[in-house]
Structure 1
């Protein structure tokens, strides 16, 4: 019997230790140790893409939150784009040479806009999708953030 996980969740924060826990979880997913992209027999799941979900915020980016890695399909991304058009999410797109740098720059832009009061986050459910350079057409890392900005979207989960 083989099985495939649909999501993996842990409680963490944005401290150095918390970010390290996130990186370790991603390593376990990418290696197949946790069968999200590969089933328990090590077979790759076609049409499944990994995405991060940030939810159940204790307060703001300084508090605890649930970090999940989900295996989603293309319809999930279409639904996210619809939420952007509806004004419930703001989409951020960044390019970089490494996943770490690209992701860090994307989140720093969100926090900068919060500080400047350009956006008001709902601290509901946020998503992050990163495309490694080896899978992109231009050889760059692509990072996409979908940040909930509508207070009502905090209860909306895709």
Structure 2
């Protein structure tokens, strides 16, 4: 009997050790070891996308938080766009011209932190979401990082 997980959660932070834990979890998901995108028989689950949820912040981005990696459907993104239109979240969309998904992710988070530091946004630190999309799945052929940041 095949099964799949809907999500996996780990308590971590943005330290070097914490980011290593995040990388290891992603490796386990992409390889199918944690059956979120694939079931236990290594069959890819059509119509799902991986999304990272950051929640249960101990303070701000410098403290511990829960990272949940979830399998979502298109309805999740429609729901988030509605939350953006209501002013509950701010959406960030960064891409990388050289094709590096890690670079566009770093650019997106740096933009959030810069806007936060300058006072342009006031983060709620409730639940934030990240979706990274490889270039082969985007209209412009570039990898994108979409962040949905909860704001006050």
| TM-score, with structure 1 as normaliser | 0.93
2:66 is equivalent to residue 66 of structure 1: yes
Runs of 4 or more off by more than 3 Å in structure 1? none
Residues 50-89 of structure 1: pairs in structure 2 closer than 5 A? 50-89=50-89
Q: CA deviation at 1:17?
A: 1.3
| RMSD value, Cα | 0.8
Structure 2 residue matching 1:70: 3-state secondary structure: strand
Structure 1 residue matching 2:109: 3-state secondary structure: helix
Structure-2 residue corresponding to 1:23: 23
| TM-score, with structure 2 as normaliser | 0.96
Structure-2 residue corresponding to 1:154: none
Q: CA deviation at 1:146?
A: 0.1
Structure-1 residue corresponding to 2:142: 140
Structure-1 residue corresponding to 2:132: 130
Residues 41-120 of structure 1: pairs in structure 2 closer than 5 A? 41-96=41-96, 97-120=99-122
Number of matched pairs: 150
Please list every run of 5 or more consecutive structure 2 residues that lacks an aligned counterpart in the other structure: none
Please list every run of 5 or more consecutive structure 1 residues that lacks an aligned counterpart in the other structure: 151-158
